[in-house]
Amino acid sequence: MVAAAKPVHELSAWERFRKDVVRDKWLYLLLLPGIVFLLIFRYIPIFGNVIAFMDYNPYDMGASTWVGFKHFADLLTRPQFLQVFGNTLYISILKMVCGFPVPIILALMMNEMKNLKFKKVSQTLLYLPNFISWVVLSGLIMNMLDPDTGVVTSIINSIAGEKIQVLTDTRYFVPMLVVTDIYKGAGWGTIIYFAALSGIDPQLYEAAEIDGARKWKQLLHITLPSITPTIVIMLILTCNNIVNAGFDQIFMLYSALVYSVADIIDTYVYRIGIKNADYSFSTAAGLFKSVIAFVMILIVNTVAKKTGNEGIW
């Protein structure tokens, strides 16, 4: 009776909802394993971050005590962590500034190639390093930069006129990271610009040629403006990585000799957390990073949308 007294449209909404859920039961069933997976392997660790606010006892969770922001205060007053944080920002920003223009220039150059076979082969070769693991690449890099037998070392030494040990010298380690990062990623980075370049209407170029515009003018007035939206969105998205200086790469190549310039948040968390089993403190360091990354991605997405681009979601 009470139900009958309710407004008809409200009642039917609930009924509609139930009917819809029953109708789509197979869809929910399809969705179930994936959602359960995410809840276990993504959400439990997210909540697991609470140990950053505890003195976590790995042998007896009950013996862990709440300590509030103690580890964060510790973190931000430890000179070592501040250096690690500074290194992270410095390396990632340097990689962005030096690495960002490279794929654009490469794509523009290769776009001018009329020989399609040559273009295809060179694309294939330039994409390749992206698919090779940092373990293998670090092996190649160590081989090339070996102080005694390395090919690149001998070239550098003859230019510098002194014996330079790139991998253990704090002056050269970070530039080496930047160069090898470009080596791995720049070729692959061109693919997004090729997609943008192939979308340009060829009639624009034909019209420009009739008007007597040279290649250089065409580049400035047609090509660049056409791919500017892509450049902008890529630039915005790159900012996401400000706290990701490249864990795999650095982990494979660094050593205690270059910690002062190369130790980043991730490598620090690994050494303190996994090696020394200082779980709470290292989780605090990791959470600090995750929160910055989270804020960055929110900012980046808002900026992308405000500038008329598609956001990440």
- Cβ partners under 8 Å of residue 179, min gap 6: none
| Distance in Å, CB of 228 to another protein, minimum | 12
Q: Which is nearer to another protein, 44 or 207 (CB)?
A: 44
Q: Which residue has the tokens 């992308």?
A: 304
- Write the single-letter amino acid at 107: A
Q: Which is nearer to another protein, 35 or 73 (CB)?
A: 35
| Distance in Å, CB of 284 to another protein, minimum | 9
Return the biggest CA–CA distance within the chain.
96
Q: Which is nearer to another protein, 49 or 83 (CB)?
A: 49
| Distance in Å, CB of 307 to another protein, minimum | 12
| Distance in Å, CB of 249 to another protein, minimum | 11
Give residue 29's region: left, alpha or beta (phi > 0; psi -120 to 50): alpha
* Structure token digits, residue 126: 């330039």
* Structure token digits, residue 119: 């273009």
Q: Which residue has the tokens 């109708």?
A: 23
- Cβ partners under 8 Å of residue 66, min gap 6: 53, 54
Q: Which is nearer to another protein, 239 or 293 (CB)?
A: 293
Q: Which is nearer to another protein, 6 or 18 (CB)?
A: 18
* Structure token digits, residue 4: 């009958």
Helices (H) and strands (E) in the chain, counts: 18, 2
| Distance in Å, CB of 37 to another protein, minimum | 5
